Structure 1
Amino acid sequence: MANLRVHADRLEVELTGAEKTLAFRGGDLVVQRDDIRSATITDDPWIWIRGIRTRGTEIPLVVAAGVWKYHGGSDFVLVKGKRQAIVLDLSAGEFARLILTTNHAAELVERLRVAAAPEPDGDA
């Protein structure tokens, strides 16, 4: 399962070797924090997949990994089975949406929210 790392300025999606092979992708994904418009937790990630697969692997309800193209752009999908997933809508970058299964969706959303909170200005 991909390792998701939240930094102050970016989210890194570190793919395993098998995931890179299934997705036909050579490297990991990096998304700037400012580009994340929304984060949604879903128990059925399969209904969020839109368009047609242009690069990657798909066995319906088992695994979907790679790039899906739709009329407005491209999405990166890494869905395994019927696990909980996070859907990230993006405003800029390589993809319009990331759909990623993870065992830690709630924690990820919380870390994205907390890290994005404004810092106090020091005036009391």
Structure 2
Amino acid sequence: MAHIELTADTLTVHVEGLNRLLALKSRLEVPLAHVRHAEVGGPSSPGGLRAPGTRIPGVISAGTFHVDYRKVFWDVRDPAKAVVIDLSGADFDQLVVEVDDPQAVAASIRAALR
């Protein structure tokens, strides 16, 4: 699971617990200017090539995945709690992270973009 922190100009994803080890990342920081959109839900698994990270089907997808020439960061155990954050001009093209309240997180990201 992850915790998302928003400031006036930055979106920071804090990867929590054992997922830090499985994702091989503890934190991702993205300038808010590179965030394009946020929505609840998305694919149930990343597909593509895992490098580096962990994928145990039906259990967890965590780390960096390369899908159709796109670099996507995943930290998801329960896809129903996932938020998909589309980026442009950042290290990643998309972030897919599990949070406690996906509706509230997606709404707060969209509000920060206005």
For the superposition of Structure 1 and Structure 2, which TM-score range results when normalised by the shorter chain? 0.7 to 0.9
Pick aligned residue for 1:66 from 63, 66, 89: 63
Q: Cα RMSD between the aligned structures?
A: 1.7
Gaps of at least 5 residues in structure 1 are: 118-124
Per-residue Cα deviation, 1:52-77 (whole angstroms, up to 9, x for no partner): 11111111111010010123231100
1:75 aligns with 2:61: no
Superposition map of 1:12-27 within 5 A: 12-25=12-25, 27=26
Q: TM-score when scaled to structure 2?
A: 0.87
Q: Which runs of 4+ in 1 moved over 4 A?
A: none
Q: TM-score when scaled to structure 1?
A: 0.81
Gaps of at least 5 residues in structure 2 are: none
More moved, 93-102 vs 80-89: 80-89
Task: Looking at secondary structure, tell me which structure has more strand per residue.
Answer: 2
Matched-pair identity in %: 30
Judge conservation of contact 2:15–2:75 (CA < 8 Å) in 1: no
Kindly state the Cα deviation for residue 105 of structure 1 after the two structures are TM-superposed: 1.3
In structure 2, distance between residues paired with 1:45 and 1:78 = 13
Superposition map of 1:96-107 within 5 A: 96-107=93-104
